[in-house]
Structures are given as structure tokens and as C-alpha cells.
A and B are shown apart, each in its own frame.
Chain A
Amino acid sequence: MFPLEPTFFNIVVTLIGYGLALAGAGFLFRLVGRKVTNNKPYFRDMPGGVAIGFAIGAFAIAWVVYTYIQAQLAEGPAANKYFFFLVAVHGIIIFAVAAYIFRFLGRLIGTEGTKKAFRQMPVTAAFGIMIIVLYAIVSIFAGVIAPYGQEEIVGNANVVPGGDPAMGGDPAYLLGTDQIGRDILSRLIYGAQNTVGIAFVTTCLAFLIGTTFGFLAAVKGGWMDQICSRTVDALMAIPQLIFALLLMTIATAWAGTNNVLVMVYMVIIIAVLDSTRVFRLSRAVGINIVVMDYIEAAKLRGETLPYLIFKEILPNAYAPLLAEFGLRFCFVFLTIASLSFLGIGIKPPLADWGTMVRDLSGFLNYAQFLPLNAALPLMAAGAIALLTVGVNFLVDWMLHRSSGLKE
């Protein structure tokens, strides 16, 4: 990228040169657009920033295409450095096409309501739904899909992935085996069940605690609100991961060798810590609903507190709470993975993506020679990232819909 000697001065000059070239290309693009379309309002009223954006976008696409051709032409060890680039490009294309087909099918199959939803949704939201459905299927049917058990030691340790006997692989273990000879593919599949399942339970618990107290504070106000809000303030004042680590250390000491008990403690600790965010949201949403006349009408009718909260307030808070559920799920999921990575979350021999990233992270050193091996820890990390991205895409779309914005 730098034709000159990489000194500080040259780098600055080159960057400025690229910037000017991009800006020039943008303005040229707008000028040509105006001439060709005979001053259509789209080009006529296009701000300069948007025009430059088009130029940058075109440049980025051109770079990707150029690098892709380079990658296809490269052979032998030279191809290794393009391995991850190719995986990324192919991955994006495959997922985009899959999401597109998924949305197309959704428009044909299902009830009128779901067909309409699929007609309106952008392809990113379809991608999110597809990923979530995929993860749900994998985690529910992990026992059926996985070729081996998660704790089962099936063969030699450290079998190379790829299933090519010439390279030292074994077709029976497509992704190879780990350092004590367990099948990595099976562990990835079981990891979905453990990590996603525990994250889901934890998020549900966090919401149960958070919304109940949040709405209670909103309806009751006064001292009830003060006690709840100040407690939450105190909990939120401590950095979450540090606090979780501290509590987990205590809980591990209490639980002793009972692994199930450690997991129960972990679920409770993360749920309580995350419920503080849910509390703040539901209190804020609740306060806006409580001042509505229909709540006053219900109060004057003599309705009880549970009826007010669950029948009058909750249905009107679904949209923001559901969106928060998606985001919160991601955070809980990441917290669990981080704790496992640090060695105090889900205990081995249960498979878990966070633990797998840590256990396999040594392979990263071989990226230059054995890119497929180096990809192993990234597969567990990628599984986490993919779900997080999918959930966020879906939540974005739901927020967009509930806010009533039109594109």
C-alpha cells in the first residue's frame, strides 16, 4: 500500500494523497451522475460527504476483489496468508445467500402474519432469525447431531483437522481431536447446548427479577422506588466482570467439588448482576406507562397491583423489553464465555465455547504453516460472534419496527 519508504513523513503524505484522490473521485462521480441523469434530484441534492462515501465504498470493493484474485492465484505456503481472508469472503457470501433464500422461503411458507413480516424485513433481520433458528436446532438436538459424546475420549490426542490422512488427519474426526483426544466437532456442537442454554436460562432469570422490581418501583414510587433504585446503583457501581469474578470465587469455595452447584451459583450471580440493567430499563419504561390515563382508570376501578403490572403495563412494554432481551442475552453469553475462559465458569469436562477458546488458543501460533489448525480456537470464538451478530441484527430490526420509523 505504501510505494515509498515507510517513514513517518511518507506515511502522512501518502495518506493525504489517498484522501485527496478519494475526495476527487467522489466529486467526479457526482458530477458525472448529474450530467448523465440530467440533474435528477438524487444527484443534484447529494451532499459531498455521501459522494465521497460512494468513492470509499467503490475503493474498498475494488481492494477486496483484487485481493481475492491474488488469493486464488497464490499456491503453496504463499496461499496460507490468504486463508482467513478467503474464509471471511466466502463466509459472508454464503451467509448472505443463505439469508436471502431463507427470507424468500419465509415469504412463501407460513401464516399470513409471518409472510407479511418476512416481506417487510431487511435481509440482515432474516440472517438474524436464521442464525437463531440454527443455534436453537443445534443446541436442542446436540445429542443426535454430534458424532461423539462431549466427554468421550475417542482416539489419539491432537489429530489434525481436515480429515486428510496424508496430513496426519482422520476422516472420522473432521475437525480433529483436542489435547486429550476428544472430538472437537462434537464438543463445538455440545458447546451450543451448554453455553447457549445456560445463557438463556440466566437471561430469563435476570428479566424476571429486573422487570418485577422495575415495574414495582414505577407503580409504587416513594420508598419502594428509593430502596430498589439505590440498591441497583450500589450493584452497578462495581465493575461487572470483577464483581462476578469475586462472587464466583466465593461461590466456588462454598460449592466445593459439586460442579452442578457451581453452575447454579453462576447462573444466579450473573442473573442478579444483569438484572440491574433490566431494572433500570423497565423502571424507565414503566414510569412512562404509569402516567397514562388507562392506568388511572384501572386504579380507580380498584384493580390489584399484580393486575396492573401484568395486564396493563407489561403488554405495553413488550417491544423495548424484547429488544433488551436480545442485547442482554448477548452480554450474558459473553460474560459466561469470559468466566469460562478465565477458568471459573462452566467446569470441564462439559464442553463450552469459552473454555475451548482458551484450551485451543495455543494453535494460533501455527497460523502461518497450518491455518486450519489455527482456525480451531477461532471456530469457538466465531460461534460466539455469529450468534451475537445475529441477535443484534434481529434486535435492530425489532427496535426499528417498534419505534414506528419508516425507511
Chain B
Amino acid sequence: MSEQEILLSVKDLKIEGRSDETWNPIINGASFDLRKGEVLGMIGESGAGKSTVGLASMGFTRDGCRISGGSVVFDGIDLVTADAATKRSLLGKRIAYVAQSAAASFNPAHRIIDQHTEAPTQHGVYSKSESEEDAMDLYNRLRLPNPEEIGFRYPHQVSGGQLQRAMTAMAMSCRPDLIIFDEPTTALDVTTQIEVLASIRDIVEQFNTAAIYITHDLAVVAQMADRIKVLLRGDEVEESETRSMLSNPKEEYTKSLWAVRSFQRDLKAPVAINSTPVVSVQNVSAAYGKVPVLHDISFDIHPGRTVAVVGESGSGKSTAARCITGLLPPTKGVIQFDGENLPLDYRQRNRGQLRQAQMIYQMADTALNPRKKIGEIIGRPVEFYMGLKGAEKRKRVEQLLEQIELEPSQYIDRLPSELSGGQKQRVGIARSLAAEPKFIICDEVTSALDQLVAEGILRLLADLQDTLGLSYMFITHDLATVKSIADEVVVMKEGKVIEQGPKVEMFQPPHHPYTDLLLSSVPEMDPDWLTNLLDERGVDNIGDAASAKI
């Protein structure tokens, strides 16, 4: 690889962003070289500046940002000082970009193939019909089902994983020398992620394209990159070959990133046979309008236990939670709380019943009213359920803030927008604790957070369970989270419970075939993992899995 010529050379790149009427540094000097056909992985927490560096590699900055120093030399042209016409002739043709959310990046009003052919015809690389033929060829290489036909659909008519691959094909349409992938698989399920990863890796190899792969998932970057660069708050931490980086990280920060997944709870004794479950879901079926979503599901959650509900998106995990809370009354079945039947509709439940079951949401941004102060958000359930007012209420709110490890005097008068993602999620936890419930539903509470922050939230939830004796229903698609926090596991697919039991049993063979697929799809830190897995499954298998998803 090293004898290839250098394609992109970034030297001492500095970027500033404008806020509060001053320019503040975002990137304090990033440097790297990229050779032809090489893949550079770029990792770091959110806010580390990964995407900013990625975009700046195309000579582009977001609104309100500017490149204040350094150079980005692509094939002899400095993109920082190049004029607009030169950049236009390069972008899309020789440098392409794949965004995180393909669903948000495609124009929903045009067919996929019309968007695909736009760049090649604009740049005069191909005629429209040549480009369409080429698109079908690319769809085939990316193992999309029905490559002849799929391009003529609209973006909403294909699945998320397929759309992400269509976007990769679009980036490939002019056979660029460099592609920047900005978290292309973050929004996908583990089973879909594998398909996208494998096809991206293949196509980059086939055309000897250089790539910058931005992600926060170490296991993913280990599969894709030749070299890895670690960023922290706009500073470079270290950069080296993938294998040496994985086996022998030098800096403390990198080591802490590597060690994140080590959190593991102690095993608990098996549930006593005659114990009454806190929540018991019995033979529940539910439907949105006339579309059935849940088919006869049953599971129990015992006091002081964590039941993890896992499955892909669309498997009915969150719908099960909506049935328990009463937002979606089941069409059939019973939901019991402490052995008593609950009214199925939340409007018919009394305050005591509502208080006992609380919920923590995935997106803390939308779960907290942006116009209310933290003290008001947590104070409302205290006042509403406990009837505390004035100084008593404030005291209780301060107590709750201490419980979630936020300094009360500092945070009580802030607005949610003045908090970080992890802190917002903690406030969400405090709001549900304020009701003094027995049972909390955690709906993907860590999936929007960075790994280090997510681990802190998991530890907090575990501590709270130990001190307050709470029961959790933990909805997630991340099996690493399941491994660290769950006592029991329920696997769901297409609205049915496929398998359930204690965690220890679930993670040991024999598995149900679907559980096996889920477990084996979780990326591991071993750089050879994807290659081995693909060999094991056979490439055709993945194509089948993709076509089965339509």
C-alpha cells in the first residue's frame, strides 16, 4: 500500500466556529496523508470534530464555520484556496460524500436512479443512459436485490440498509478517487449493518478508491480501515495502523475507549418460583389500526430484575412498551401489575397506577420540554404525585439531582439545551425516579449516546436498581448493552417472542437461528471478524438476507 502515491494531504488544518459573536476553535490542527486505495478510520466521541474534519477534506465547512489555517491538498490542488469553479469540478466527480442518514439525504420527490445519474451527467462523465446502465451494475456489485429495477423506486420504497447502499452507489457513480463516509451504518440494525459494511468494503477495494471512514464504533472501524486516527475535542490523540492500534494503543484516552465495553453486572440468584412479577404481560396482541403488530406475546418482569427486550427495528419492542404504558391498548390479552389487572387504556388508570410505571425515552432531546428548567421538569412529578410544594419540593428535587450525580446548585436552574446528551438522559431518569415507581421502561436509553457516556448511564441505572429495588424493562438493539446490564432476555422478531430466558442461557448455544444471527452480527474488535464471518455465512447468504427484507 505504501508505494501508492499520496492522494490527499491535510496539513495543520484549523477550523473555527462562530458563536456568541466570536470565533472559537473547533479543530486545532489536524494533519494526515491518504494514499490511493487506502481507508483511514476516524473515531472519537460526538463533538470531537470527526465530521468537521471529514467535510473539510472536501474543502467545505458548515454554515457558521471557517477554515482558519492549514492546507487540504487533493492531487496537487489546495482546496482551501481553490475557487468555486475548481471545487465544483472536483466535488461529486473525484471526491464524493456518503452521509449518515440516507433517508434524510435523498430527495423524496425523485426516483433513486434519477438522483444517481445527476452527478455523472452534470460533470459530463456519462450520458444519462450510460449512467443508468452503470447504476444497475453498481447496484449489482453492492448486492442490492433486483438491481435492474430497484433504482426506479422512490427512496421511501426501499429499506434503510438498501438506501444506504444506493447512496454508496451514487457516491461511486463518477468513480471518484476519494469517498468520505460519515457514520454510514450508525442508524442501522446490526444485521443490516453487516450487509452495508461488506458491500462498502468490497466496492472500495474493487475500484481502488481511497476513503475516510468516520464512526464512533471501534468494532466497525476495525473492519474497514487500514489506519485509524483518534480525535478528542478537536485535538489529535494518535494515529497508527489498525492492527497495532487495536493491540497496543499508546494514549490513555484511546485505552479508555477500548475498555468501555468491560462493564458487567454481577449475576443474581434465580427468581424464586412463587415470586409475584411486578409486571406480567400475558398473551398480548396489538395492532395499529388494522395492521397487527404484536402476536400473542407473554413475559414477566420480577422485582429488582432487568429484562432486556431485543430485536431489530420493526420487531415490536417499543410497541410492547406502549401496550404496558397503556398508550396503545392491546386488542387481546392482559397486563398485570403486582398480580392485579391494569386497565388497558392509560386514561382509565388512576394516579397510583400511573405513578408505579415510569418511562425513560431514547431521545432525551424530545423527552424534556425545552422551555422548562431542570428544576421544573423534575419538580412536576414530585408536586403532582407527592403533593410537595415550595421548599419541600425543592429539597426533594435537589435530592434527586444528587442521586443522578448532577450538582443541584449548578443544574437546577438550567434549561435542557444547556446540558450535554448524557446529562439530559440523567434528568430523564430523575424525572421518572421523582414518581417513586417500582418499574421503569428504558426505551433505547443509551443508543443515542457515546460509548463512554452510555456506560456511565448504565452504571447509574444499575446502582439505582440496587439501592431502590427497581425493575427495568430494557428495550435495546445493542447486544453489548444486554450483556452488561440484563438479568433476563426476551428476543423479539416480527411481533412475536422468539426466545426468552435468563441471560446466561441466552448467550450460550444452542440458540434459536434468529438469536444466533443477531449474536453473530455484533461487530467484534478483531480486524478479521467481518472477513471470517462472511466466509462462514457465504456471500450468497447475505444477498438472500437482503432480499428477504423487502
Contact = CB atoms under 8 A, between A and B. Distances in A.
Contact of B380 (A300, A301, A315): A301
Contacts of A299: 327, 346
Given A301-B384, A302-B384, A316 B366 contact: no
B368 A294 contact: yes
A292 B431 CA distance: 16
B361 interface: yes
B347 to A, nearest CB: 9
Contacts, number: 54
A300 B354 contact: yes
A15 B350 CA distance: 77
A303 interface: yes
Contacts of B381: 301
A292 B326 CA distance: 17
B511 interface: no
A300 B371 CA distance: 20
A297 interface: yes
B203 to A, nearest CB: 34
A44 interface: yes
A359 interface: no
B388 to A, nearest CB: 15
B384 to A, nearest CB: 6
Given A302-B351, A315-B371, A406-B63, A44 B83 contact: yes
B7 interface: no
Interface in A256-315: 292-294, 296-297, 299-303, 312, 315
Contact of B325 (A300, A312, A315): A300
B196 to A, nearest CB: 28
A294 B366 contact: yes
Contact of A45 (B83, B350, B366): B83
A316 B369 contact: yes
Contact of B371 (A120, A293, A316): A316
A6 interface: no
A119 B327 CA distance: 47
Contact of A406 (B64, B368, B370): B64
Contact of A303 (B326, B368, B370, B384): B384
Contacts of B368: 294
B371 A45 contact: no
Nearest to A312: B369
Contact of B83 (A41, A292, A300, A406): A41
B361 A293 contact: yes
A296 B366 CA distance: 10
B83 A301 contact: no
A292 B350 CA distance: 23
Contacts of A120: 21
Contact of A293 (B363, B384, B385): B363
A315 B372 contact: yes
Nearest to B363: A293
B327 A300 contact: yes
B366 A293 contact: yes
B468 interface: no
Nearest to A405: B63
Given A300-B325, A300-B359, A301-B384, A293 B367 contact: yes
Nearest to B416: A294
Contacts of B370: 316
Contacts of A297: 359, 361, 367, 431
A272 B381 CA distance: 38
B18 interface: yes
Interface residues of A, number: 20
A292 B361 CA distance: 11
Contacts of A293: 361, 363, 366-367
Interface string B479-510: 00000000000000000000000000000000
Contacts of A44: 83-84
Interface string A16-46: 0000000000000000000000000100110
A34 to B, nearest CB: 11
Contacts of B84: 44-45
A120 B372 CA distance: 24
B81 to A, nearest CB: 8
A102 B216 CA distance: 50
Given A45-B83, A296-B327, A406-B18, A301 B363 contact: no
A303 B381 CA distance: 10
A296 B346 CA distance: 11
Contacts of B369: 292, 294, 312, 315-316
Nearest to A315: B371
A120 B363 CA distance: 32
Given A294-B368, A316-B371, A406-B63, A301 B361 contact: no
Contacts of B363: 293
Contacts of B326: 300
Contacts of B349: 302
A44 B87 CA distance: 13
B354 A302 contact: yes
A145 to B, nearest CB: 39
Interface string A329-373: 000000000000000000000000000000000000000000000
Most buried by A among B325, B359, B371: B371
B21 to A, nearest CB: 8
A301 B18 contact: no
A296 B369 CA distance: 11
A292 B371 contact: no
B366 A292 contact: yes
Nearest to A316: B371
Contacts of A45: 83-84
A358 to B, nearest CB: 46
Contacts of A301: 354, 380-381, 384-385, 435
Contacts of B354: 300-302
Interface string A40-54: 010011000000000
B325 to A, nearest CB: 6
Nearest to B354: A302
A177 to B, nearest CB: 53
B378 to A, nearest CB: 12
Contacts of B380: 301
A297 to B, nearest CB: 6
Contacts of A303: 384
A315 B416 CA distance: 14
Interface of A: 41, 44-45, 119-120, 292-294, 296-297, 299-303, 312, 315-316, 318, 406
Given A300-B325, A302-B349, A303-B384, 9 more contacts: A119-B21, A292-B367, A294-B366, A301-B380, A301-B435, A302-B350, A302-B384, A316-B371, A406-B18
7 contacts: A119-B21, A292-B366, A300-B326, A300-B354, A300-B359, A315-B372, A316-B371
Interface of B: 18, 21, 63-64, 83-84, 325-327, 346, 349-351, 354, 359, 361, 363, 366-372, 380-381, 384-385, 431, 435
Query: Ordered nearest first, which 10 A-B pairs have the shortest CB separation?
Result: A315-B371, A293-B367, A45-B84, A293-B361, A294-B369, A293-B366, A302-B354, A292-B366, A406-B64, A44-B83
